Structure 1
Amino acid sequence: MSQPASPLPDRGPTGRRTAKGSLSSTAGKRVERPAPLRQVVYEALAELIINRTLEPGQHLVEADLAEYLGVSRQPVREALQRLQSEGWVDLRPAQGAFVHLPTDEEADQLLSVRSVLETHSAKLAAGRATADDVKRLWELQNTGVKALADEDTEGLVTANAALHAFITQLSGNAVLAELIGLVDRRVRWYYTPIARPRGHDAWNEHDELIHAISDKDAEAAEQIMSRHTEKTRQAYHERPDAPRP
């Protein structure tokens, strides 16, 4: 009776027989695969929407986007379909694709949820932060203050996201971090038009928050973050381009 074939090759590159299971006894060396083009295009378009290079309500022409990104229209079409499923793009019959124009209600719901999550995150961070963690918070704070002085909107948004993300990391709660991660991109989208108008107040509030975390005052950190996120929510509704009743 013939023996069943081995699930692993039993000959090396020279044709010599190798010991069975030798591949499993050594560390695997996996081939590095570049990200699929459609994923790269999706990430690029999402970032252009988040930083408002592509503005809410703007018509998205596949050919123009493909030329801008240096790709064919197919991965752009696939990326737009994915962005539509995630609420970043609206596909309208016979009209084409448009950057989603968020309603104030959508923004309010998301920023309210963000406030609850980040308030709890700040409370937990105050109980866990080490001296090195606080030092890192001040470094992130200084990056934001510099971006504010330079009137660098993109730098402000990036610095703000980095500071909040690090506070989330300090909370030590993986579930909380995952939930905040789900809303992070959209928070950056909403924050971009108010980053500079809100700038001085926001970074002064960050200063207070870092002091509370440094002092391990969980109650104060919780209260400061609650006020901070609520003021951001209000600022979004009061932005100059906000629709008026």
Structure 2
Amino acid sequence: MLPTGLPQGAVPRLERPGPLRDRVYEALLELIATRALQPGRHLVESELAGRLGVSRQPVREALQRLNTEGWVDLRPAQGAFVHEPTEQEADQLLTVRTLLEAEAARLAAADADRDGAAVLEELCAEGEQAVAADDVEAAVRLNARFHAKIMELAGNAVLADLAAQVDRRARWYYTPVARQRGRQSWAEHRELTAAIAARDEQRAAALMREHTEHTRRSYHAHARAQSSPRPAPDGKRR
């Protein structure tokens, strides 16, 4: 039987103000994007409503919106389930992310300043500490902040809007491989920071392409490993 509802301890605060349906939507989206609600999990309206402290109506509306956006699958006579992404979906989104992030790194390097580079260095130090402490949640959060800061330094509002559309889904794909990427990811961040601080546009773009490609390949390797038959205790493959 598939697990249902919210995992223990994963009860987000519903930020105010704003329409209740929007706050419920944001809370559920964050739980899905961070994989507190795993792909395939059965989402029961009554359980979600009880854990969030709301009625079922805003939960139902949020699930319908999440279904439209591809985060949730509504199955006739079965209910709502967290979407299980295909490798093709992940590949398409992470490929687009590579294009956006590489251009952001180039633009950030073109107009870099000491303050911006210093913030990136601080984030690298915090990320390395999170990896050393095996704090995957913190590492994922700091990774998102690092990339968001580069997008901010790029200074292109249109590029930032496009990146925002793929950011949460990129984090969804990054979370399962965050521990695997670990120190190497932050070493790559350090190289990126140095290139941006040196105003080396071409190197910054090339390093970002390589960095995001590493994540894309890691995700595919993880997905394939998860789908491969595992040996049973008797040595036979299941």
User: Where on the TM-score scale, by shorter chain, does this alignment land: which range?
Assistant: 0.7 to 0.9
Amino acid at match of 2:227: P
The count of residues paired between Structure 1 and Structure 2 equals: 213
Q: What is the TM-score with the length of structure 1 in the denominator?
A: 0.84
**Structure 1 vs Structure 2 CA RMSD:** 1.3
Match of 2:89 in 1: 106
- Residue 238 (structure 2) pairs with residue 243 (structure 1): no
Show structure 1 runs of 5+ residues with no match.
1-32
Give the 3-state SS of the residue equivalent to 1:162 in structure 2: helix
Match of 2:140 in 1: 157
Match of 1:197 in 2: 180
**Alpha-carbon deviations, 1:142-168, whole Å to 9, x = none?**
121111112111111110010001101
Match of 2:166 in 1: 183
Amino acid at match of 1:228: H
Amino acid at match of 2:83: H
The structure 1 residue matched to 2:120, chosen from 137, 140, 145, is: 137
Give the 3-state SS of the residue equivalent to 2:80 in structure 1: strand
Amino acid at match of 1:205: E
Quick check: which has more Rg, 1 or 2?
Answer: 1
Match of 1:37 in 2: 20
Match of 2:151 in 1: 168
Give the Cα separation in 2 of the matches to 1:170 and 1:52: 28
Amino acid at match of 2:171: R
Amino acid at match of 1:74: Q
Amino acid at match of 1:243: S
Give the 3-state SS of the residue equivalent to 1:97 in structure 2: strand
Give the Cα separation in 2 of the matches to 1:82 and 1:116: 28
**Alpha-carbon deviations, 1:161-198, whole Å to 9, x = none?**
10001101111111111111110010111111111111
- Residue 198 (structure 2) pairs with residue 215 (structure 1): yes
- Percent of aligned pairs sharing the same letter: 59
**Alpha-carbon deviations, 1:13-32, whole Å to 9, x = none?**
xxxxxxxxxxxxxxxxxxxx
Residue 244 of structure 1 and its aligned partner are, at CA, apart by: 4.0
Give the 3-state SS of the residue equivalent to 2:179 in structure 1: coil
Give the Cα separation in 1 of the matches to 2:136 and 2:31: 14
- Between Structure 1 and Structure 2, which shows a larger proportion of helix residues? 2
Match of 1:82 in 2: 65
Give the Cα separation in 1 of the matches to 2:140 and 2:163: 16
Give the 3-state SS of the residue equivalent to 2:227 in structure 1: coil
Amino acid at match of 2:120: L
Q: What is the TM-score with the length of structure 2 in the denominator?
A: 0.87
Give the Cα separation in 1 of the matches to 2:212 and 2:177: 13
